[in-house]
Amino acid sequence: MRTPLIAGNWKLFKTLAEATALINELAPLVNDVKDVEIVVAPVFTAISTVVSAAGKTAVRVAAQDCYWEDEGAFTGEVSPKLLKDVGCSHVIIGHSERRQYFGETDDTVNRKTKAAIRTGLTVLLCVGESLAQRESNDTFKVIEAQLRGGLADIPAAELPHIVIAYEPVWAIGTGKTASDTQAQEVHAFIRALVAQIYSPSEADAVRILYGGSVKPENINGLMSQPDIDGALVGGASLKAESFAGIIRFKG
Ligand code: PGA
């Protein structure tokens, strides 16, 4: 009953020409896939171009971050209102690279999430533990704090506009995927936590994506886990063939 969602996070890659070429190559490979939501997240400067290239295809467009005010004296920021204006339907918030390198906190994640939802965007809300945190058995504690912080004061009625992405930091860009069992264990924990914060029916409906070195070779095992509803893909989303291979995980 939960529609799978496969999202590509292009990070700081792709010129306008490269972004257009990728969409043009990807679209025919996935146009017949009807039961999977497809999202790509280009850099801000390429969003408009990618929205045009995606046109009437099934590909939806996300931003990789946003600010929480609609407008004002906030040099360098981009608001959810402007993302909506340029044609985004989704926005990634709280990616571990933003937390690690750009001072993102659970509080800023929460403000951004609320603002994005208010504007009508769907949020891909990222959580994930570092290697040190996993090794010191703090995974669940870290995930719980990030999730409670990120979802603070967000009412149940808004939960359908949030997709949670579990991305263990040690698996991002390292080629080291969490095993299907490791991922499922945390996904089940997240779903139980959503049931506790909201209710079992909200928990049942919320989609939880896995992210961290997802490839065509490992997507099948991940998607066969009961609580994994899709993937947030970095490296493998930069090539049409591998991203299409992930989107077509059903074969
Ligand atoms: P990766 O990145 O697939 O290259 O590990 C995932 C992500 O950062 O979303």
- 65-104 pLDDT, tens per residue? 999 999 999 999 999 999 999 999 999 999 999 999 999 9
Supply the pLDDT for residue 236: 98
* Ligand 1 neighbourhood includes 233 CB (under 6 angstroms): yes
Mean pLDDT estimate for the chain: 97
- The 10s digit of each residue's pLDDT in 39-51 is 999 999 999 999 9
Identify the residue whose tokens are 């914060």: 197
Q: Is the CB of 150 under 6 A from ligand 1?
A: no
Residues 6 or more apart from 95 whose CB is under 8 A from it? 9, 64, 65, 104, 126, 167
Between 47-54 and 16-30, two packed helices, what is the crossing angle to 10 degrees? 30
Tokens of 16: 């306008």
- For residue 211 and ligand 1, the question of a CB distance below 6 A is answered with yes
pLDDT of 66 reads: 98
Residue 42, ligand 1, Cβ within 6 A:
no
Would the CB of 61 count as within 6 Å of ligand 1?
A: no
pLDDT level of residue 1 (50, 70, 90 thresholds): confident
pLDDT digits (tens, 9 = 90+) for 193-227: 999 999 999 999 999 999 999 999 999 999 999 99
How many residues can be counted in the chain? 251
The one-letter code for the residue type at 85 is: D
pLDDT of residue 186: 98
Give the bridge partners for 127, in sequence order: 166
Q: Which atom of ligand 1 is nearest to the CA of 235?
A: 4
Q: Is the CB of 235 under 6 A from ligand 1?
A: yes
Query: Three-state DSSP class for 158?
Result: helix
Judge whether 167 counts as a catalytic residue: yes
Q: Which helix (H) or strand (E) holds 108?
A: helix 106-119
- Which of the following is catalytic: 37, 97, 104, 167? 167
Take atom 1 of ligand 1 and give the residue whose Cα is closest: 234
Q: Does 145 score more than 90 pLDDT?
A: yes
- Does the structure show a pLDDT above 90 at 175? no
Query: Using CA atoms, how far apart are residues 161 and 74, in angstroms rounded to an integer?
Result: 26
Percentage above 90 pLDDT, the chain: 96
- CA-nearest residue for atom 7, ligand 1, is 234
Q: Which of 37, 95, 97, 187 is catalytic?
A: 95
CA of 124 to the centre of ligand 1 (A): 14
Q: How far is CA 242 from the centre of its chain?
A: 18
User: Can you state the angle between helices 216-223 and 180-197, rounded to 10 degrees?
Assistant: 50
Would you say the pTM of this structure is higher than 0.75? yes
Q: What is the pLDDT of residue 129?
A: 97
| Residue 8: other Cβ atoms inside 10 A | 28
From the CA atom positions of the chain, what is the Rg in Å?
Answer: 17
Report the candidate in 123, 127, 235 with the shortest Cα–Cα distance to residue 172: 235
In this predicted structure, the answer to whether residue 251 has a pLDDT above a threshold of 80 is no
For residue 92, give the ligand 1 atom closest to its CA. Answer: 9
Cα torsion through 220, 5, 206, 210, rounded to 10: 50
The CA–CA distances, whole Å, from 115 to 46, 104, 142, 146 equal 22, 15, 24, 18
Asked about 77 being catalytic, the answer comes back as no
